[in-house]
C-alpha cells in the first residue's frame, strides 16, 4: 500500500453506477419532517453530505399515516410529501447522482418489553401486535411487485394511481459525468396497532413501535407499499432497497426467536426466509435486479428479534439472493447487536461477503482505520457510516486528509430543531 493511499477514497463500480469513493451515508432517522412532510432544511442537510460519485441512503420514510414509528419522520404516501421530496433529490442530483429506495413490513403477536431508544435517553413502550395471516402475505408481496412496476414506469411520463390520479415521472437517465451518486429511500412500515386500517384517522405512538403490521382483507384498500413505491419514483428515486433489518417485518419473519408461525412462513430456515425472498423476487422481476438492494442484520437482536444461528441465516440469505442477481447487500456487523451499542462480538461478515456475488456494503461501528482495513482486505466493497457522517458532512474529505473529526452530540439526534445538531456541524473550511 503506497504512501498516501486511502482505500476508502478509491473508486468503485457498483453495477451501472461509478462511485468515486467507498464512504456511504447510512440511513439515519432525524425526526425533523414536521407532520411527516420533508422540510426545506432537509435540502441543505442532504446536499451538505453529497459528493460527486458518492452514495447516500436517505432516512427511513413511512408509507402510510399508521406506519410512523417515530414522531416527525418523513412519509411518501401523499402528493404533498412527494412534492416535498423532489427538491431534496434535485439538490443531491446537482452534485452528480442517481437515486434508490427501500421497503419493509411484520410477523408475530409476542409482547415486546420496553427498550432504551437509540439516543440513550428515552424509553420506548410497545403494545401487543397481531399475527399477519397466511392469506395476507401474498397480497403484500404482490404490492411490492406492483409498487416497483409503478415506480419505474413513473419515470417515463404520466401514470395513474387509483388513489392519487396522475403523477409526473422523473425520467430515467444517468448522470453523464462525475461518477454516480445514489440516494436510497428507506420505507418503514411499523405500527403499534392490532389492526392497521382500524386507526386510519389517528396516529401511532410517538415512540419506537413494535414493528408489526396487519393488513385487513375486507377494507377494499391497497396495501401501503403500492402507493409508496409509485410515489418514490415520482419524487425522483430510481431504485429500491428492501428493509430486511433491525426488527422490521422482514427481519421478524427470518428470526427464529420471534417467528413462531406454524404455516409455510415459519419453522425451518427456508420457511422463515420465504417471505423476504418472495419480496426480492417480485421487485427484481418488475424493475430489474440491477435496481434492487437489501439491508440485513442477521446478528442483531433489535426489538427482541434475534436468531439462534445468525451465521446460517446470513449465509442462506446471501446464497439465495445470488439467484436473483440483485445490485447489493447491505449488512450490519455482528458487533452492533443492540441499538447504539458496540458489544464487540468476535464474529465476522466475511462468510457472507465471500458468498455474495454483488456489491457488499458493511455497516456498524466503523471508524476511518477499520473502514480502510475492510476495503484494503476486500472484506467489503463499501462502508456505511452513520453517526460519524451525521457530525461530519465532509466525512470523505476528512478521511482522505486524515484530519480530526467533529464529535457528534447524541442529545440532538432526534430533536425538532432544523439547524442545531442537523445542519450546523462545521466543514473543514468555510467555503465547503
Q: Would you please indicate which residues are annotated as catalytic (active-site) residues?
A: 248
Place of cell 406492483: 146
CA dihedral 303→307→308→311, nearest 10 degrees, is -140
Q: What is the DSSP string of 267-324?
A: SSHHHHHHHHHHHHHHHHHHH-GGGEEEEE-TT--GGG---S-HHHHHHHHHHHHTTT
State the alpha helices, DSSP H only, in 155-220.
Answer: none
CA dist., res. 104 & res. 29, Å (int): 15
Residue 70's closest CA among 121, 34, 105, 120?
34
Contact 302, 338 (CB under 8 A): yes
Which residues lie across from 55 on neighbouring strands?
A: 24, 182
Which run of H or E residues covers position 227?
A: helix 224-234
Contact 398, 428 (CB under 8 A): yes
- Residues 204, 73: Cα–Cα separation, whole Å: 12
Give the angle 249-33-186 at the CA atoms, nearest 5°. 30
Burial of 352-368, coded b for 16+ CB within 10 Å and e otherwise, reads bbebbebbbbbbbbbeb
Give the dihedral sign, CA 14/19/24/30: negative
Give the Cα separation of 236 and 408 in Å (integer): 30
* 102 vs 226: CA distance, rounded Å: 13
Amino acid at each position: 500500500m503506497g504512501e498516501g493511499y486511502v482505500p476508502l477514497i478509491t473508486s468503485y463500480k457498483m453495477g451501472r453506477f461509478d462511485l468515486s469513493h467507498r464512504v456511504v451515508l447510512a440511513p439515519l432517522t432525524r425526526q425533523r419532517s414536521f407532520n411527516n412532510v420533508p422540510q426545506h432544511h432537509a435540502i441543505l442537510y442532504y446536499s451538505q453530505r453529497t459528493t460527486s460519485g458518492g452514495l447516500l441512503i436517505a432516512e427511513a420514510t413511512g408509507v402510510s399515516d399508521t406506519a410512523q414509528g417515530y414522531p416527525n419522520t418523513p412519509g411518501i404516501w401523499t402528493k404533498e410529501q412527494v412534492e416535498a421530496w423532489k427538491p431534496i433529490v434535485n439538490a443531491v442530483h446537482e452534485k452528480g447522482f442517481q437515486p434508490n429506495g427501500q421497503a419493509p413490513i411484520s410477523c408475530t403477536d409476542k409482547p415486546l418489553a420496553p427498550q432504551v431508544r437509540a439516543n440513550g435517553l428515552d424509553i420506548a413502550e410497545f403494545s401487543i401486535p397481531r399475527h399477519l395471516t397466511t392469506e395476507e402475505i401474498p397480497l403484500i408481496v404482490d404490492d411490492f411487485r406492483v409498487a416497483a412496476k409503478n415506480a419505474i414506469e413513473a419515470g417515463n411520463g404520466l401514470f395513474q394511481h387509483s388513489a392519487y390520479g396522475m403523477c409526473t415521472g422523473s425520467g430515467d437517465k444517468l448522470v453523464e459525468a462525475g461518477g454516480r451518486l445514489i440516494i436510497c429511500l428507506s420505507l418503514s412500515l411499523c405500527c403499534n396497532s392490532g389492526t392497521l386500517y382500524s386507526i386510519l384517522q389517528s396516529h401511532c405512538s410517538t415512540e419506537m413501535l413494535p414493528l408489526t403490521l396487519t393488513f385487513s382483507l375486507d377494507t377494499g384498500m391497497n396495501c401501503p407499499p403500492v402507493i409508496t413505491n409509485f410515489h418514490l419514483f415520482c419524487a425522483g428515486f430510481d431504485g429500491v432497497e428492501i428493509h430486511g433489518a433491525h426488527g422490521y417485518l422482514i427481519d421478524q419473519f427470518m428470526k427464529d426467536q420471534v417467528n413462531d408461525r406454524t404455516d409455510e412462513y415459519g419453522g425451518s430456515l427456508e420457511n422463515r426466509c420465504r417471505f423476504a425472498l418472495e419480496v426480492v423476487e417480485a421487485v427484481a422481476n418488475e424493475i430489474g435486479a440491477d435496481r434492487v438492494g437489501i439491508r440485513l442484520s442477521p446478528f442483531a437482536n433489535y426489538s427482541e428479534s434475534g436468531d439462534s444461528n445468525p451465521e446460517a441465516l446470513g449465509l442462506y440469505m446471501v446464497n439465495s439472493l445470488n439467484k436473483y442477481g440483485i445490485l447489493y447487500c447491505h449488512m450490519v456487523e455482528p458487533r452492533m447487536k443492540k441499538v447504539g451499542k458496540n458489544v464487540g462480538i468476535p464474529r465476522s461478515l466475511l462468510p457472507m461477503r465471500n458468498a455474495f456475488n454483488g456489491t457488499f456494503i458493511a455497516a456498524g461501528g466503523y471508524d476511518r482505520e477499520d473502514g480502510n482495513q475492510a476495503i484494503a482486505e476486500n472484506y467489503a466493497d463499501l462502508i456505511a457510516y452513520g453517526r460519524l457522517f451525521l457530525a461530519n458532512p465532509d466525512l470523505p474529505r476528512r478521511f482522505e486528509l486524515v484530519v480530526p473529526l467533529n464529535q457528534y452530540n447524541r442529545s440532538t439526534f432526534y430533536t425538532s430543531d432544523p439547524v442545531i445538531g442537523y445542519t450546523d456541524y462545521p466543514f473543514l473550511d468555510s467555503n465547503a
